[in-house]
Amino acid sequence: MKLHLDFETRSEADLNKVGAWAYASHPSTEIICMGWGFVAPGERVRQITRQECLTPRFHGPWSSNYDNVVISAHNAAFEYAIWNCILHKRFGWPAMWEPNRWTCTMARAAMVGLPLSLDELGRVLSIKTPKDLEGRRTMLQLSKPLGQDALGDPIYDEAPEKFERLYAYNANDVRSEMEVDALLPELPESERRIWELDLVMNRRGIQIDLIFAAKASAMSKELVGPLNDRLRVITNGAVDKATQIPALKDYLKNRGVEVPTKYVAGEEKEAAKATIEVIRREFERLPRSADLTKPEIQRQIVEKVKTLITPAQREIEDVAERVDVEMVVAKTIQLRNELSIDIPRITIQPVGDVTRGYREFKMDLSRVNYQPVDNEILIQELHRREQHRLMSGTGIVPEEKPEDYLVRGLIDFNDISYDDQAELLYKLAGQTVAHLRSYLKDGEEVLNVLQYHQQGLVNLIHVQMQEHYEEKATAYEAHVSKGFTTLRPNNYSAPADEAERDFRAPVIEKQDIRKMLFGGFKKCLYRVQKFDSDSERRFAVVLENDSEVLKWFKPAKGVFQIHYASDASYEPDFVVETKTEKFLCEPKSAADMEDPDVLAKAKAAAEWCRNATEHERKHGGKPWTYLLIPHDVITENKTLKGLAASYMHRGEDRTPR
């Protein structure tokens, strides 16, 4: 039995500085809440709060079957430490020391080359429950003290509404992790042994001869000074110390000495990778990528990169810097900016009076064909769930109405309020019961299906409700959370016998174009691209031929967050930057230009462009425009400017102009 688990905690200890094990062992660390769910995406997420951890009866519904539980978490080393140091040692919960009883979705993602953060991993895997980034801010606010009182005790933010927001964030994380877990392969045995060893080592620690280490450090410092003085004399002042690799290479090169670059190049590559990681993690909130070139910003990046590439050697001067980090950072930033287009991350926040709820809709039950099971199997299942009271023998206390089986399951979801949505819940439950009656022979079979397949039916209703969720406000306000986003490598799959094609060559088998890889670009930010249609390929030719176009690419999932219908998200086909403007471009079948879904996406994209343009103008950038282009007008002799004149979509009207 697999348990999906996530803790939210707070402490005076800094997790980033002390690590998971020291953090979990710190006396001030406490659990704010714990969320868990079983088996598969869609199952109800349960939660307990910090006070409830003290009570044995809250050991969870799995408490009678601990021996068969395997716990899954994202970055499971943290949950492993919190469970055993706090739940077990402080509150008497059963220990979960055995590494083979844990599985880590972050480690499994790393094994197959996917992003490590739950947010980015969810976007790549296109899960239905993405990471709640706004909720993460609340989590960070509650996880550390605001300060200290007169006695030196920590003062925490205790706002009830923030705790409620945190609980929702925690439940959302569990659902995200459940979806991710279902999509990732398990670690092979060889990788599994390494991960388990890492878990044990972090718990146990490793022995270090501190006296020897201190003496070695002192000896290094004592020797480095005279050696650098000698180097300065030998090079006539051209090189001050051995860590100035570029200066040393230039000195030797000017004297005809061939300098091997293998090792330095490898370390420079690591420094460049660290630079990109630091930018992605901490500096994308700048208004524009050009700000990365400011001296004060580059100094901050340099310090953080040095910390990343020499974490265990900072105190040994002779090896603390083996590359010219300042040079690598400057060059990496220059190259990064040349090979990217600034795309602001824009979120639309409601202001004023806000109402949230679900629109009425008709259930899609076309694939529902659940069949009744044997009564003995039904009894065993209901007994296992502990969701029904059993009378003597095999009788089951029924609900008052068949719809109640579904409504009772639906109100367990954190995002559903019975008081606010009772009428809709009973309508949807009624539609579902009516569908069951349409193909089952009698009421007894309907009752059997409702009881045995309750969770599957409840999940189906809940998923379809999410698709009809809406939020209305008196006004909306655009918020730019990131001035730009660092693009990630694209990963395309193709048949083994599929060779890279010249994008300019006409395609004969147009029906197979989605399986093909295209290359030969000069302005595309990626070496290869895939196209969904031949009109997209022809549009790429237009962009490559146009002298005004500087660069372009086809965005992967997650680059944009353009919401056009409830939580539905839209990714435009092309992003283009010219000498004076930026464009989102959507080549579309001429027959679909008036399709309501296409127009809804166009309206949302045009609104995004207006907000992005406002941000760019404040910071000396270029305006954004959305183009919705019928496929049959895209020919290689066209220009982007010419297409924009006819197919710019402003969002107010139903048709481009």
Residue 268's pLDDT is what? 81
**Backbone phi and psi for residue 398, each to the nearest 5 degrees, phi listed first:** -80, 160
Residue 478's pLDDT is what? 78
CA distance 552 to 199: 44
Residue 158's pLDDT is what? 83
Express each pLDDT in 376-432 by its tens digit.
887 777 666 554 433 333 344 567 899 999 998 888 777 788 878 889 999 999 999
Q: What is the mean pLDDT of the chain?
A: 84
Among 112-116, 467-471, 523-527, whose mean pLDDT is lowest?
A: 467-471
**Backbone phi and psi for residue 493, each to the nearest 5 degrees, phi listed first:** -105, 150
Express each pLDDT in 74-91 by its tens digit.
999 999 999 999 888 887
574-578 and 549-553 strand pairing: antiparallel
- Cα-only R_g, the chain: 30
Average pLDDT of the segment spanning 211-232: 90
Length, in residues, of the chain: 657
Residue appearing with tokens 């590359």: 323
The answer, yes or no, to whether residue 208 has pLDDT greater than 70, is: yes
The answer, yes or no, to whether residue 265 has pLDDT greater than 70, is: no
Q: Return the higher-pLDDT residue of 36 and 578.
A: 578
Average pLDDT of the segment spanning 438-445: 93
Average pLDDT of the segment spanning 503-510: 93
pLDDT interval class at 273 (50, 70, 90): confident
Residue 313's pLDDT is what? 42
pLDDT interval class at 329 (50, 70, 90): very high
Q: Which helix (H) or strand (E) holds 193?
A: helix 189-204
pLDDT interval class at 437 (50, 70, 90): very high
pLDDT > 70: what percent of the chain? 85
Tokens linked to 204: 């146990």
Residue 250's pLDDT is what? 86
Residue 39's pLDDT is what? 60
What Å distances lie between residue 268 and 246, 248, 327, 544, CA to CA? 11, 15, 9, 33
CA distance 496 to 427: 51
Query: Which letter does DSSP use for residue 261 in this model?
Result: -
Among 13-22, 29-38, 481-490, whose mean pLDDT is lowest?
A: 481-490
Average pLDDT of the segment spanning 319-325: 62
pLDDT interval class at 655 (50, 70, 90): very low
Residue 281's pLDDT is what? 83
Strand segments (E) across 462-573: 469-482, 501-502, 518-519, 549-553, 562-565, 568-570
The answer, yes or no, to whether residue 629 has pLDDT greater than 90, is: yes
Express each pLDDT in 576-628 by its tens digit.
999 999 999 999 999 999 988 899 899 989 999 999 999 999 999 999 999 99
Asked if residues 168 and 135 have their Cβ atoms less than 8 Å apart, the reply is yes
CA distance 605 to 622: 16
Average pLDDT of the segment spanning 339-348: 88
CA distance 455 to 461: 10
Asked if residues 437 and 446 have their Cβ atoms less than 8 Å apart, the reply is yes
Residue type, 139: M
Domains of the chain: 2-204 (3.30.420.10), 211-338 (no CATH), 360-467 (no CATH), 482-647 (3.40.1350)
Maximum Cα–Cα distance across the chain? 99
Asked if residues 61 and 68 have their Cβ atoms less than 8 Å apart, the reply is no
Looking at mean pLDDT, say which of 132-136, 465-469, 546-550 comes out highest. 546-550
Tokens linked to 5: 């688990």
Express each pLDDT in 47-68 by its tens digit.
777 655 544 444 444 555 566 7
518-519 and 549-553 strand pairing: unpaired
Residue 587's pLDDT is what? 96
Average pLDDT of the segment spanning 257-272: 69
Looking at mean pLDDT, say which of 212-216, 389-393, 555-559 comes out highest. 212-216
Express each pLDDT in 141-153 by its tens digit.
899 998 887 767 7
Average pLDDT of the segment spanning 337-363: 82
Residue 559's pLDDT is what? 83
Residue 114's pLDDT is what? 87
